[in-house]
Amino acid sequence: MISVTEISKKTNFSKEDIIRLLSITDKNEQKELLRKAYSVKDKTVGRKVYLRGLIEFSNLCQKNCLYCGIRSANAKVTRYSLTDEEILAVTEFAVKNQFTGIVLQSGEQSNRDFTQRITNLITRIKQATHHELRITLSVGEQSFNTYKEWFEAGAERYLLRIETSSEELYRKIHPDNALHSFKTRLQCLENIQQIGYQTGTGVMIGLPFQTIENLADDLLFIKQMNIDMVGMGPYLEHVNTPFFIYKDSLLPINERLNLSLRMIAILRLLMPDINIVATTALQTITPMGREMGLKAGANVVMPNLTPGKYRGNYLLYDNKPCIDEDADECINCLANRMKMIGEEIANDYGDSIHFTQRKNRVVM
């Protein structure tokens, strides 16, 4: 069997190489993989952590994904939507606390009132912050023209998780109707990239029905798509979803954690210059989960700046951490945690190096 050392020396990985790394069970081999990934991170993007202030501004959603706690059919969710003024107050807080970027995230809606509201919000945020904030949108599938309108209004980044690159698996984790189409999801991702956004995607790790081969294909998909930023983490169940019936057949929670760390590490080796998020889902499994993600090769953290009275209603999965902390507590705690593991919170925009180089190649 080929060793981790031999694989990590390669400049390109085959699917078989990736499967071998994902299948690691020996603790020393995993440590070796993570050390190698962290070394590559250090050389390419440095020991810097970029903060993206997360604003979960609405849990209204037209989708009915079988794994998600805010799915439209979940009648036990208290629905909410922040006012524009509440969102602007959070962005003001972000600027005062030296954030260089925010993420506007919500459930999926595509009606004209919603899309026009986002356009107006982007414009108001840019004006109110003197264009000091990069805006990332994570509001799902939209038309090409809507994505273009938001980009022209001033949004620079877009995160649309593919969830899985396997069309067969995608169909298993979503209702079988036109509103939940793999082809539409993929086309939206291609549109986002074509328009000129720094393009982000991601997958869930440890899903029911998912195989190691699926995960290897996910990593190759991300590389083939030339993605600029990735947010991926362990699948965590929610009691009020159809997929909760599979809870006893899932990988044990610590295995999902370690598999997620290996996914991050392999992706850092595959694509050294992209931005990778250490997700909140990692922290849900263990208090130091995000730090473990950073040590595996991630370089972005998304502190939750959503006003506290709303946080408990944006639960994609159970046991989400930090829903009782206010934003000040979260930031102070995070700064100490980063220092503890030898990372530095950066104060520049942290644009994806991969995006900058990709964009320059296109121009040339």
pLDDT, one tens digit per residue, over 3-22 is 999 998 888 999 999 999 99
Closest to 282 in 3D by CA, of 343, 330, 235, 230:
235
Mean pLDDT of all residues in 261-271: 98
Mean pLDDT of all residues in 85-99: 95
CA dist list (Å): 179 to 75, 79, 185, 359: 19, 21, 10, 32
Under the banding of pLDDT at 50, 70 and 90, the label for residue 324 is: low
pLDDT of amino acid 328: 67
173, 67 contact by CB (below 8 A): yes
**HEC letters along the chain:** CCCHHHHHCCCCCCHHHHHHHHCCCCHHHHHHHHHHHHHHHHHHCCCEEEECEEEEEECCCCCCCCCCCCCCCCCCCCCCECCHHHHHHHHHHHHHCCCCEEEEEECCCCCHHHHHHHHHHHHHHHHHCCCCCEEEEECCCCCHHHHHHHHHHCCCEEECCCECCCHHHHHHCCCCCHHHCHHHHHHHHHHHHHHCCEEEECEEECCCCCCHHHHHHHHHHHHHCCCCEEECEECCCCCCCHHHHHHHHCCCHHHHHHHHHHHHHHHHHHCCCCEEECCHHHHHHCCCHHHHHHHCCCCEECCECCCHHHHCCCCCCCCCCCCCCCHHHHHHHHHHHHHHCCCEECCCCCCCHHHHHHHHHHHC
Mean pLDDT of all residues in 352-360: 90
Phi and psi, residue 349, nearest 5°: -70, -25
C-alpha triplet 229, 307, 199: angle, nearest 5°: 15
Mean pLDDT of all residues in 352-364: 78
Residues 6+ apart with CB under 8 A from 201: 159, 160, 161, 162, 189, 222, 225, 227, 230, 231
pTM of the model: 0.96
pLDDT score of 220 more than 80: yes
Under the banding of pLDDT at 50, 70 and 90, the label for residue 361 is: low
CA dist list (Å): 209 to 86, 191, 204, 267, 355: 40, 29, 12, 22, 33
275, 228 contact by CB (below 8 A): yes
For 164-212, the pLDDT digits (tens) are 999 999 999 999 999 999 999 999 999 999 999 999 999 999 999 999 9
Residue type, 113: D
pLDDT of amino acid 332: 74
Paired with 58 in beta bridges are 81, 106
Q: Which domains does the chain have, with CATH numbers?
A: 47-363 (3.20.20.70)
pLDDT score of 325 more than 70: no
pLDDT of amino acid 364: 41
For 301-319, the pLDDT digits (tens) are 999 999 999 999 999 998 8
The pair of structure tokens assigned to 322 is 């930090």
Give the span between the Cα atoms of 214 and 169, in whole angstroms.
9
Give the span between the Cα atoms of 301 and 229, in whole angstroms.
12
pLDDT of amino acid 329: 64
pLDDT of amino acid 362: 56
pLDDT of amino acid 323: 67
Cα 312 from chain centroid (whole Å): 19
Average pLDDT, the chain: 94
Under the banding of pLDDT at 50, 70 and 90, the label for residue 336 is: confident
CA dist list (Å): 311 to 214, 236, 304: 32, 17, 9
pLDDT of amino acid 67: 98
In the chain, the percentage of residues whose pLDDT exceeds 90 is 88
